Protein backbone atom coordinates (compact mmCIF):
# COMPACT_ATOMS: atom_id res chain seq x y z
CA UNK A 1 0.00 0.00 0.00
CA UNK A 2 1.13 3.49 -0.81
CA UNK A 3 1.22 5.86 2.11
CA UNK A 4 0.69 9.59 1.98
CA UNK A 5 0.33 12.59 4.21
CA UNK A 6 -2.82 14.60 3.65
CA UNK A 7 -2.35 17.88 5.54
CA UNK A 8 -5.53 19.86 6.18
CA UNK A 9 -4.78 23.42 7.24
CA UNK A 10 -7.23 26.18 8.11
CA UNK A 11 -8.61 28.33 10.89
CA UNK A 12 -10.00 26.93 14.15
CA UNK A 13 -13.50 25.49 13.51
CA UNK A 14 -12.95 25.47 9.73
CA UNK A 15 -13.97 21.80 9.50
CA UNK A 16 -10.52 20.20 9.13
CA UNK A 17 -11.00 17.41 11.65
CA UNK A 18 -14.57 16.63 10.59
CA UNK A 19 -13.50 16.27 6.95
CA UNK A 20 -10.46 14.20 7.95
CA UNK A 21 -12.55 11.69 9.91
CA UNK A 22 -15.12 11.46 7.11
CA UNK A 23 -12.37 10.72 4.59
CA UNK A 24 -10.65 8.30 6.99
CA UNK A 25 -13.81 6.22 7.20
CA UNK A 26 -14.12 6.05 3.44
CA UNK A 27 -10.47 5.10 2.99
CA UNK A 28 -10.71 2.39 5.66
CA UNK A 29 -13.77 0.93 3.93
CA UNK A 30 -11.62 0.65 0.79
CA UNK A 31 -8.97 -1.26 2.72
CA UNK A 32 -6.41 1.49 3.30
CA UNK A 33 -4.35 1.77 6.46
CA UNK A 34 -5.30 5.17 7.89
CA UNK A 35 -4.35 7.31 10.87
CA UNK A 36 -5.67 10.74 11.83
CA UNK A 37 -3.17 12.94 13.65
CA UNK A 38 -5.64 15.35 15.24
CA UNK A 39 -3.94 18.57 16.33
CA UNK A 40 -5.77 18.64 19.68
CA UNK A 41 -4.79 15.06 20.48
CA UNK A 42 -1.18 15.69 19.47
CA UNK A 43 -1.03 18.71 21.78
CA UNK A 44 -2.42 16.59 24.62
CA UNK A 45 -0.18 13.56 24.20
CA UNK A 46 2.96 14.50 22.27
CA UNK A 47 3.56 18.23 22.53
CA UNK A 48 1.88 19.14 25.81
CA UNK A 49 4.80 21.30 26.93
CA UNK A 50 4.56 23.64 23.96
CA UNK A 51 2.74 26.95 24.09
CA UNK A 52 1.40 29.08 21.27
CA UNK A 53 4.35 31.35 20.48
CA UNK A 54 5.49 31.37 16.87
CA UNK A 55 8.48 29.19 17.81
CA UNK A 56 6.36 26.68 19.72
CA UNK A 57 3.80 26.48 16.92
CA UNK A 58 6.62 25.84 14.45
CA UNK A 59 8.06 23.10 16.68
CA UNK A 60 4.62 21.52 17.02
CA UNK A 61 4.12 21.45 13.25
CA UNK A 62 7.60 19.98 12.69
CA UNK A 63 7.01 17.20 15.20
CA UNK A 64 3.67 16.36 13.61
CA UNK A 65 5.32 16.52 10.17
CA UNK A 66 8.01 14.08 11.28
CA UNK A 67 5.43 11.61 12.57
CA UNK A 68 3.25 11.98 9.46
CA UNK A 69 6.24 11.38 7.18
CA UNK A 70 7.22 8.29 9.17
CA UNK A 71 3.73 6.84 8.89
CA UNK A 72 3.39 7.75 5.20
CA UNK A 73 6.73 6.08 4.37
CA UNK A 74 5.35 2.95 6.00
CA UNK A 75 2.22 2.69 3.89
CA UNK A 76 -0.24 4.64 6.02
CA UNK A 77 -2.59 7.32 4.71
CA UNK A 78 -1.97 9.94 7.37
CA UNK A 79 -4.61 12.66 7.67
CA UNK A 80 -3.37 15.71 9.55
CA UNK A 81 -6.05 18.26 10.49
CA UNK A 82 -3.85 20.92 12.08
CA UNK A 83 -4.10 24.72 11.93
CA UNK A 84 -0.37 25.13 11.07
CA UNK A 85 -0.69 28.90 10.71
CA UNK A 86 2.72 29.68 9.19
CA UNK A 87 3.65 29.06 5.57
CA UNK A 88 7.32 28.40 6.35
CA UNK A 89 6.39 25.66 8.83
CA UNK A 90 4.15 23.95 6.30
CA UNK A 91 6.80 24.30 3.61
CA UNK A 92 9.38 22.62 5.87
CA UNK A 93 7.00 19.67 6.28
CA UNK A 94 6.50 19.48 2.51
CA UNK A 95 10.28 19.48 1.99
CA UNK A 96 10.73 16.70 4.58
CA UNK A 97 8.29 14.58 2.57
CA UNK A 98 10.00 15.42 -0.72
CA UNK A 99 13.36 14.41 0.74
CA UNK A 100 11.99 11.08 1.98
CA UNK A 101 9.96 10.37 -1.15
CA UNK A 102 6.66 10.23 0.75
CA UNK A 103 3.57 11.61 -0.97
CA UNK A 104 2.30 14.89 0.49
CA UNK A 105 -0.98 16.65 -0.25
CA UNK A 106 -1.78 20.07 1.20
CA UNK A 107 -5.44 20.95 1.58
CA UNK A 108 -6.61 24.41 2.58
CA UNK A 109 -9.95 24.23 4.33
CA UNK A 110 -10.78 27.83 3.44
CA UNK A 111 -13.64 28.74 5.74
CA UNK A 112 -14.14 32.46 6.42
CA UNK A 113 -13.39 33.55 9.99
CA UNK A 114 -17.01 34.72 10.36
CA UNK A 115 -18.28 31.20 9.67
CA UNK A 116 -15.66 29.67 11.98
CA UNK A 117 -16.70 32.10 14.69
CA UNK A 118 -20.34 31.02 14.31
CA UNK A 119 -19.40 27.34 14.47
CA UNK A 120 -17.01 27.95 17.39
CA UNK A 121 -16.69 24.23 18.07
CA UNK A 122 -14.40 24.69 21.10
CA UNK A 123 -15.67 28.06 22.29
CA UNK A 124 -12.39 29.76 21.37
CA UNK A 125 -13.92 32.66 19.46
CA UNK A 126 -16.28 33.42 22.35
CA UNK A 127 -13.38 33.31 24.83
CA UNK A 128 -11.31 35.61 22.62
CA UNK A 129 -14.22 38.05 22.24
CA UNK A 130 -14.69 38.06 26.04
CA UNK A 131 -10.99 38.81 26.54
CA UNK A 132 -10.35 35.46 28.23
CA UNK A 133 -7.74 34.39 25.70
CA UNK A 134 -5.51 36.05 23.15
CA UNK A 135 -3.46 34.74 20.26
CA UNK A 136 -6.40 33.14 18.43
CA UNK A 137 -5.27 32.23 14.93
CA UNK A 138 -7.00 34.32 12.31
CA UNK A 139 -8.33 36.83 14.83
CA UNK A 140 -5.49 38.35 16.83
CA UNK A 141 -2.72 36.04 15.66
CA UNK A 142 -1.76 35.52 12.01
CA UNK A 143 -2.86 32.76 9.68
CA UNK A 144 -0.89 32.63 6.44
CA UNK A 145 -3.16 31.05 3.84
CA UNK A 146 -1.52 28.59 1.47
CA UNK A 147 -0.82 30.30 -1.85
CA UNK A 148 -0.97 27.13 -3.93
CA UNK A 149 -2.50 24.22 -2.02
CA UNK A 150 -3.14 20.96 -3.83
CA UNK A 151 -6.83 21.43 -3.03
CA UNK A 152 -8.90 24.25 -1.63
CA UNK A 153 -12.10 23.23 0.17
CA UNK A 154 -14.70 25.83 1.04
CA UNK A 155 -16.47 23.85 3.73
CA UNK A 156 -19.10 26.54 4.24
CA UNK A 157 -20.45 25.98 0.71
CA UNK A 158 -20.66 22.18 0.69
CA UNK A 159 -21.42 19.29 3.01
CA UNK A 160 -18.80 17.33 4.92
CA UNK A 161 -19.45 14.40 2.58
CA UNK A 162 -18.94 16.59 -0.50
CA UNK A 163 -15.72 17.99 0.96
CA UNK A 164 -14.39 14.50 1.72
CA UNK A 165 -15.45 13.30 -1.74
CA UNK A 166 -13.53 16.15 -3.41
CA UNK A 167 -10.43 15.21 -1.46
CA UNK A 168 -10.92 11.52 -2.21
CA UNK A 169 -11.18 12.35 -5.92
CA UNK A 170 -7.84 14.18 -5.78
CA UNK A 171 -6.21 11.24 -4.01
CA UNK A 172 -7.63 8.84 -6.61
CA UNK A 173 -6.36 11.06 -9.42
CA UNK A 174 -2.87 10.86 -7.90
CA UNK A 175 -3.01 7.10 -7.39
CA UNK A 176 -3.28 7.44 -3.62
CA UNK A 177 -6.82 6.10 -3.15
Kindly list the structural domains of the chain, giving each domain's residue range(s) and its CATH number in brackets, ordered by start.
4-111+141-174 (3.40.50.300)
pTM, entire model = 0.95
Q: Has residue 102 got a pLDDT over 90?
A: yes
**Which residues have a Cβ under 8 Å from the Cβ of 153 and sit 6 or more positions away?**
15, 19, 107, 108, 109, 110, 163, 166, 167
Q: Please list, residue by residue across 58-93, b when 16 or more beta carbons sit within 10 angstroms of its beta carbon and e when fewer do.
A: bbbbeebbebbbbbbbeebbbbbbbbbbbeebbeeb
Cα separation, 34 vs 72, whole angstroms = 9
Q: What's the pLDDT at 86?
A: 97
Residue 13, annotated as binding a ligand: yes
Helix/strand/coil for 67: helix
142 is in an annotated binding site: no
Confidence of residue 104 (pLDDT cuts 50, 70, 90): very high
Consult the annotation and say whether 16 binds a ligand.
yes
Query: Rounded to 5, what percent of the chain is helix, strand, coil?
Result: 45, 15, 40
Percent of residues, the chain, with pLDDT higher than 90:
92
pLDDT reported for residue 56: 95
pLDDT tens-digit series, residues 115-155: 999 999 899 999 999 999 988 999 999 999 999 999 999 99
- Is 89 one of the annotated binding-site residues? no
Residue 46 marked ligand-binding = no
The answer to whether 11 is a known ligand-binding residue is yes
Q: What integer is the mean pLDDT of 2-28?
A: 97
pLDDT at 48 over 90: no
Amino acid sequence: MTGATIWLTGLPSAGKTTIAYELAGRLREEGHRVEVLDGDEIRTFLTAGLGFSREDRHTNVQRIGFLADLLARNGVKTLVPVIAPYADSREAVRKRHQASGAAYVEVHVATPVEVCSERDVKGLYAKQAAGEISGLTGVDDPYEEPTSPDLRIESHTQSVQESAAALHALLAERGLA
